Structure 1
């Protein structure tokens, strides 16, 4: 089922991108204007002028806008680390885990570059900026029956119902794909914590019939339903790209610092030396270089989240979440270390050896 979902989803992406690659701004504008006239919405060039008046259309390329796009790009290309959650079930993990992470960054990068090119040159640079304005601000004058996304722009360029369906179905396919992925990640993180004695022991209870942590799945279902209800009542608090800021702090920044220090910390020197990937460029460990790049990227993401005008309202809610998540994680660890110490268990021993995979 995963393969079928992935194939159909990618088919929609590729079809949409090919359609966009075969048009030009004049042809797209003529089709867009026809639909705009039908729904009483501003036409192609009128949209650009309205967005320009709002300050969203810039004159040419600039670093601020380019780096400001980093959270979106990071959201697309940096989740290769998810392979780590099934690392123990991967054949030849010393090769395939690293390869999967590289491909998970490389393939989305190719599509991001492709999409950036066609939106700039085939749809129009200024119209793309105007589309971002519509998407972020939702002006009342925009009355088209679809959001201003690249996929919808591709769909209006074809009369083939099957192609339209596949372009639209990709959203459904990848949203569905996210569900089992989320259940795997959530359950395995908590399961792993409990295995290391950092969490209640019912986290590792396996259902005798299904052989899976059903209690954790049920917990995630409850939290998921609560989140959906909260979103329906308070949609303005939706995290969106703000979640990428949390990823930058909790994943890329922390891992980057860890990578930089890993080869030089005496307590874990044996783990570094036993790793099959303790490569060096000259005398500098590759882990140090990767760690520096990870920290730089995390810094750019955080800067972008706070520098973008469209993120201003969200930051009111999410800045406390950033600090709260970090504080809660520290308290969680310290509590369970204290509790297990009272039981005669040293939880720090789990971090002094390589995992089996």
Structure 2
């Protein structure tokens, strides 16, 4: 493959190092686990069955899952699978866009990607406290503990512990991290299956009886009372005016949580064994596997709790219901509590496992973020787009220790701002619509033209997927077109559905600032290297060393 070394047209000294120092230790299972956990099945199910159906009540849930799966597999998964196999280097979008499009564009997109990983980390680490541990302690009837977890101090302490664990499990290299990742994936699957078993073992009639018995115990709304209260509080959910097609496409956007984020496994492409095969398989399977779980719960949950009650729970979870006094939150995990007798040790353990199905998925976003952000910075460093320590990898652990430490410090500062400054100001910086255009859209455009760009002809001609065609068109071009359609659907609903909070003035300003910063960063380091006699433009003619 072109760029396996830098001994061709590019002098070795153009790159910061003759080898990245990263080691190909990740198997197919490891690559899949990264994508699967980044899709966060338990979090994705909660997203769909809580605010998804609340936002788009006219949508057909099952059809939305099928559509999201098809778009995910034949769009994003194929695009990123082919890109990753053709350019198997760690760093993700930075490597692709700097080579195919332009280094300034690639740097700007990658700057935004790094910012998003940081932003998600400082938002999702506190989620382990609330709603994660608040759900756990609510199910265990420990209101004081739940209240502390939801307090600013409690959220900060818990999020800081989570942040440190993410740092710790990535500091000592990929082998240590991959062991942790496999363990968490297995546990998350087991606990999510347990939630499904608890629900699936009971009929609708048994759920109604169990709910009413517990409601009487806590002086809360009974089954019919929940539905009536929800209809009065938010009648829109029960008498939607939007067409079924529009509601279903809205749910497809919600399902992007589990159908698109597997693509991020490419940030560790330089550490995946047999990348020409394994990246593609991991990309596709990291869409299909979560789809199976989401589809199962989309069938199971309404059949047990009842369709109207499911929508009543979504109203209670999003806007609240007067009279709801149950000790657990009104979500698909919390309601399993009505079947569990806490005086029974087994049931007590099952309640813990049900809550952990969410907590583990949410927690894993943090170490995933450490892997991603550090590899992005290493990719910059290899192209001399940053200080020397960006490309430094500890030879003992094959780990970018300095990058990880920097990310830990800025993440801890962000967590403090989020927990003590209020979630609103930080959350407002999250701008999913701009993320979609920045990372997904630009990279899909690059993939669309990849086979036809002269400057990367040598890379494309050695791609294992260069002969994948339908008629005259390469598969990657077709897949990129499908992905752009998917992105357009997502962008449309973000721009037309205020409740999605995909567009915020603060977020737009932040992304414009980050994009501008990325281009200025590229311009500065290009100028600095040329001043030192290094023609850095040559670096983007091929791939950096492994």
Q: Same fold (TM over 0.5)?
A: yes
Alignment counterpart, residue 180 of structure 1, candidates 357, 363, 367: 367
Partner of 1:338: 527
Pair 230,68 (structure 1): closer, same or farther in 2 beyond 3 Å: farther
CA distance in 2, matches of 1:247, 1:313: 9
Measured in 1, the distance between the counterparts of 2:523 and 2:306 equals 54
**In structure 2, C-alpha distance between the alignment counterparts of 1:109 and 1:240, rounded to whole Å:** 29
Matched, 1:205 2:392: yes
Q: Residue 55 of structure 1 is aligned with which of 223, 235, 239?
A: 235
Instruction: Determine whether 1:11 maps to 2:190.
Output: yes
Partner residue in 2 for 1:272 = 460
Q: Gaps (5+ residues) in structure 2?
A: 1-179, 342-346
Change in Cα spacing, 1:196 to 1:140, as seen in structure 2 (3 Å) is farther
Closer, same or farther in 2 for the Cα pair 1:229/1:19, shift >3 Å? same
Give the superposition deviation at 1:242: 4.9
What residue number does 1:38 align with?
217
Tell me how far apart the structure 2 counterparts of residues 108 and 340 of structure 1 sit (CA, whole Å).
Answer: 45
Asked if structure 1 preserves the Cα contact closer than 8 Å seen for 2:451 and 2:474, the reply is yes
Map Cα deviations across residues 231-280 of structure 1 (whole Å, 9 max, x no partner).
21212345499564344223221111111111122222222222111211
Correspondence list, 1:13-32, <5 A: 13-32=192-211
Displacement of 1:44 after TM fit? 2.7
SS in 2 for 1:69: helix
Residue range with higher mean Cα deviation, 9-18 or 152-161: 152-161
Residue 87 (1) aligns with residue 269 (2): yes
- Contact kept? 1:71, 1:241, Cα under 8 Å: no
- CA distance in 1 between counterparts of 2:483 and 2:269 reads 21
Whether 1:146 and 2:328 are equivalent positions in the alignment is yes
Give the aligned partner of residue 195 of structure 1. 382
RMSD: 2.7
Kindly indicate whether the alpha-carbon contact (under 8 Å) linking 2:432 and 2:503 is maintained by their aligned counterparts in 1: no
User: Is 1:123 matched up with 2:305?
Assistant: yes
Structure 1's consecutive aligned runs of 4 or more residues displaced over 6 angstroms after TM superposition are none
Residue correspondences, number: 357
Contact 2:429/2:506 (8 A) holds in 1? no
Contact 2:382/2:544 (<8 A) preserved: no
Structure 1 pair 210/285, CA: closer, same or farther in 2 (3 Å)? Answer: closer
CA distance in 1, matches of 2:224, 2:424: 30
Secondary structure, counterpart of 2:333 in structure 1: helix
TM alignment of 1:153-302, pairs within 5 A: 153-159=335-341, 160-207=347-394, 210-232=397-419, 233-237=421-425, 239=427, 242=430, 244-278=432-466, 279-302=468-491
Aligned in 2, Cα 1:354/1:202: closer, same or farther, shift over 3 Å?
closer
Residue 329 of structure 1: aligned partner: 518
Provide the C-alpha distance between the structure 1 equivalents of 2:378 and 2:319, rounded to a whole number of angstroms.
41
Contact 2:431 2:503 survives alignment (8 Å): no
Label 1:354 to 1:204 Cα distance change in 2 as closer, same or farther (>3 A): closer
Unaligned runs of 5+ residues in structure 1 are none
Structure 2 Cα separation of the partners of residues 50 and 309 of structure 1: 24
Contact 2:210/2:338 (8 A) holds in 1: yes
Structure 2 contact 495–502 (Cα < 8 Å) conserved: no
SS at match of 1:113: helix
C-alpha spacing 1:203/1:133, structure 2 compared with 1 (3 Å): same
Conserved 8 A contact 2:432-2:502:
no
Inter-partner Cα distance in structure 2 for 1:268 and 1:327: 26
Deviation at 1:299, TM superposition (A): 1.8
Report the CA distance between 1:209 and its aligned residue: 6.1
Q: Distance in 1 between matches of 2:215 and 2:536?
A: 63
Partner of 2:139: none
Superimposed CA distance per residue, residues 167-205 of structure 1 (whole angstroms, 9 cap, x where no aligned partner):
222233333433322211111101111111112222123
Distance 2:355 2:405 in 1: 31
Higher mean C-alpha displacement, 135-144 vs 70-79: 135-144
- Distance in 2 of aligned mates of 1:246 and 1:203: 26
Q: In the TM superposition, what is the alpha-carbon distance from 1:69 to its structure 2 partner?
A: 2.6
1: CA distance, partners of 2:264 / 2:430:
19
Which piece of structure 1 moves more, 221-230 or 100-109?
Answer: 221-230
Which of the pair has the greater relative contact order for Cα pairs under 8 Å at 6+ separation? Answer: 2
